[in-house]
């Protein structure tokens, strides 16, 4: 099973600033996913990040607000830009190990509070 | 549209009582079904999954779930809960191609009281 490390685990940021979240996987994976979990809500997929190509964003999410990098098969970053209090959420990185035992693994999440 | 509905946002139970957490989905294509658990201040952990085969799936920590295609349901059950089962439980559905692009339900907060 994949082990995912996310940094930072939590942060408190001023509105108008940006935060970059890092996701490191202990094995090479093709697809990485970024989710947002707003307070008291479920997980919502922000985008899918494949190495060597631009991220694919879900409806309601745009690259200018959530730029993503995927420089290699074990690492990705998500930036939350020009933050507002509405961006206060938990952001989770996820990877999929496909095949017969297809399963999604999640990082511990980054708890972001914007003040 | 593809969606996942968890009918109960909160379920309080007493220790050693049975519990069922309900999950329904809407889809016109084949699906893959998952239950994840999130303990306080932790990430998500897979409890169990249905990909194909037997509709009764057994997972970790004594949980099991049954896939009912006609009712488009995947309810989670445990015959006797422990206080340590207190957590948030999420039903998730993969619409084709494995677990990529999972759609999550809103979650059910299970509270086990002594």
Phi, psi of A58 (to 5 degrees): -80, 165
Long-range CB pairs of B1-8, under 8 A, 24+ apart, other chains included? B1/B26, B2/B26, B2/B27, B2/B93, B2/B95, B2/B103, B3/B103, B4/B91, B4/B92, B4/B93, B4/B103, B4/B104, B4/B105, B5/B105, B6/B89, B6/B90, B6/B91, B6/B105, B6/B106, B6/B107, B6/B108, B8/B108
Query: B30 and chain A: CB distance < 8 Å anywhere?
Result: no
pLDDT of residue A103: 76
Give me the pLDDT at residue A115, please.
96
pLDDT on residue A74: 94
Distance CA A84, CA A61 (A): 15
B98–A42 CB contact, under 8 Å: no
Farthest-apart Cα atoms in chain A, separation: 45
The pLDDT of residue A2:
83
Q: What is the pLDDT along chain B (114 residues), one digit of tens a residue?
A: 678 999 999 999 999 999 999 999 987 777 889 999 999 878 889 999 998 888 999 999 999 999 999 999 999 999 999 999 999 999 998 876 555 678 899 999 999 999
Q: What is the least distance, in Å, from the CA of A11 to any CA of chain B?
A: 14
Write down the pLDDT at residue B100: 64
B 46-65: CB under 8 A from A: 46, 49, 51
- The predicted structure's pLDDT at residue B36: 95
Do residues A67 and A51 lie in contact, with contact meaning Cβ atoms separated by under 8 Å? Answer: no
pLDDT at A93: 95
Under DSSP, is residue B110 helix (H, G, I), strand (E, B) or coil?
A: strand
Tokens read off for B30? 């084949």
Render pLDDT for A57-76 as a digit per residue (tens, 0 to 9). Answer: 999 999 999 999 999 999 99
Q: Distance from CA of residue B14 to its chain's centroid? A: 19
In the prediction, which pLDDT does B52 show?
83
Segments in chain A below pLDDT 50:
100
What pLDDT score was predicted for residue B103?
Answer: 87
Q: Which of A33, A40, A43, A55 to mutate to test the interface with B (most CBs of B within 10 A)?
A: A43
- In angstroms, the separation between the Cα of residue B43 and the nearest Cα of chain A is 4
């Amino acid at each position: 099973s994949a082990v995912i490390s996310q940094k930072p685990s939590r942060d408190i940021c001023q509105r108008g600033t940006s935060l970059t979240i890092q996701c490191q996987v202990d094995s090479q994976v093709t697809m990485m996913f970024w989710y947002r979990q707003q307070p008291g809500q479920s997980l919502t997929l922000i985008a899918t990040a494949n190495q060597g190509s631009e991220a694919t964003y879900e409806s309601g999410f745009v690259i200018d607000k959530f730029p993503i990098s995927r420089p290699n098969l074990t690492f990705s970053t998500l930036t939350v830009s020009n933050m507002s209090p509405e961006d206060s959420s938990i952001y989770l990185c996820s990877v999929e190990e496909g095949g017969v035992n297809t399963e999604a693994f999640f990082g511990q999440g980054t708890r972001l509070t914007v003040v | 549209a593809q969606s996942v509905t968890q009918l109960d946002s909160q379920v309080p139970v007493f220790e050693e009582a049975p519990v069922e957490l309900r999950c329904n989905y809407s889809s016109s294509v084949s699906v893959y079904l998952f239950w994840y658990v999130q303990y306080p201040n932790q990430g998500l952990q897979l409890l169990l999954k249905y990909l194909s085969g037997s509709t009764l799936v057994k997972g970790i920590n004594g949980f099991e779930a049954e896939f009912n295609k006609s009712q488009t349901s995947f309810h989670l059950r445990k015959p006797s809960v422990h206080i340590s089962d207190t957590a948030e439980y999420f039903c998730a559905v993969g619409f084709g191609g494995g677990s990529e692009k999972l759609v999550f339900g809103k979650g059910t907060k299970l509270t086990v009281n002594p």
